[in-house]
A and B are shown apart, each in its own frame.
Chain A
Amino acid sequence: MITGLLTYIAILGLTGVWILGWMGLSVVVGSFFNLPLKTVTLVGATLGPLGFIVTITIGVLESKHAGEIAALPVGGPGDAGNELEDPFS
């Protein structure tokens, strides 16, 4: 009875530590890439080491995406010749 109880606690405890550990690592990496906390928590908890890799991949993709948006000119090609003068200058 006691052995069974201890095994039960040990198995669930070990798995819990594993899940929490990978969740923590994913949260750290996710915060580095400014990913939503809810998402990285879920990814790390359910996917474990794989979630860690997926978080890095999505983080890289998101930063690349953000970089592309930042590199776009404020006025599109259709705005050529339509620049307005700044009334405050």
Chain B
Amino acid sequence: MSASDDAVKPRLLLPIALALVVLKGGSLPWITVRTFSGNERVYNLADLRGGMAVIMTIALVVLVGATVGVFKRLTGMTIMSLGVAALGWMAAISGILLSLLWSLIPSINVAGLDLAKATLSQGSGVVVTVVASLSLAFMVVRQVEPFKTYAPSTHLPVLPLAVLVPLLAVIACMHSEWLSLGTDGSGVQAQVAGDSLYGSGLVVLAIWLAIGLWIGALMVNRSLMISIASGLTVVVSIIVGMYAVFLWAGGRLLDWLVPAKLEKWTAVSIEPQLYVVLVSVAVTFFVSVAGLFSRMQNVKITLGLRTPGAVRFYYSDALGSVILVVLAVSFVLRVI
């Protein structure tokens, strides 16, 4: 194997780090149920009977993939990617299915809980698992023809990076509380999360699709990809923006109009996440609109060219190392 072959091959550290992030995501909350008594219950895959066996099976596939990857890089990465894609899709399907069901038919029972008296949200584990598994999948896909010819190696388009940061903030905040309603006497408290609003299940689905398309636009460097992602993101940001504005205005209105003597909700508080959503959605909207113009689509950042003889610096190794350090720190903190 020549030195040039080694330079062309994808590096193995980042795929392994991403696979470990997906496995870590399996132990983070996938579903959050907030009852009107102010309690919050979280569920993940490990809470299910047989769930740990599923995680161990995926871990075994990742281990096999990493071992094969030492000898046959792309084959190993593909095995790892297929394994974690299974876990990623499990997270996505479970969360989306339940959110969709609840946002359309709120009167269902899940795990003995009457969801008419509670709100249901996806947990942070879904975001972590899906984003990491999609990133690994795109890393594999960009190595095969004809994607190879469309994948940038030394230049990255700026727009996907500029949209993904606020869009990930939006999806993370969609699963957290936007508004809290409470009563002084009985201690009853309702926490209204972004994804517990009517019809929000479909919106969450569209946001996930937009995130995936932007990750795709980062890998497939063509204006068509950016245009499709921009179009969907503009629509999604308008809808989420309207949700946030209406809830903010409604909360304010309720706070002003409902006097404290009424026995129903006496305390209305707008949570900071709602403001994060408003700002993020505004940024997402303006950047996505810019993405519809070809002049903005061609703005790129250069990662730097490798010169022969110089010490090689791999961005993927740097990112992989950072992810591994974060995982190690979270593990140590959990043990302590």
Report whether A35 and B90 are in contact in the complex, using a CB–CB cutoff of 8 Å: no
Enumerate chain A residues within 8 angstroms of B51, measured Cβ to Cβ. Answer: 7, 11
Q: How large is the interface on A (under 10, 10 to 19, 20 to 34, 35 or more residues)?
A: 20 to 34
Chain B residues, CB < 8 A from A38: 144
Q: Are B145 and A39 in contact (CB under 8 A)?
A: yes
- A60 touching B89, Cβ below 8 Å: no
Which secondary structure dominates where chain B touches chain A? helix
Question: Residue on B with the closest CB to A36?
Answer: B145
Contact check, A50 vs B134: say whether CB atoms are below 8 A apart.
yes
How many Å lie between the Cα of A38 and that of B141 in the bound state? 10
B54 at the interface (CB under 8 A from A): yes
- Chain A, residue nearest B53 (CB): A8
Residue of B nearest to A8 (CB): B50
A61 shortest CB reach to chain B, Å: 6
- Note all chain B residues with C-beta closer than 8 A to A35: 146
**Residues of chain A within 8 A of B82, CB atoms compared:** 19, 45-46
B164 within 8 A of A: no
Are B93 and A18 interface neighbours, CB within 8 A? yes
Report yes or no: A60 in contact with B224, Cβ–Cβ below 8 A.
yes
B40 to A: closest C-beta gap in Å: 24
A58 vs B301: C-alpha distance when bound (angstroms): 23
B149 shortest CB reach to chain A, Å: 9
Q: Does chain B have a CB within 8 A of A49?
A: yes
Interface residues of A in 9-53 (CB under 8 A from B): 11-12, 14-16, 18-19, 35-36, 38-39, 42-43, 45-51, 53
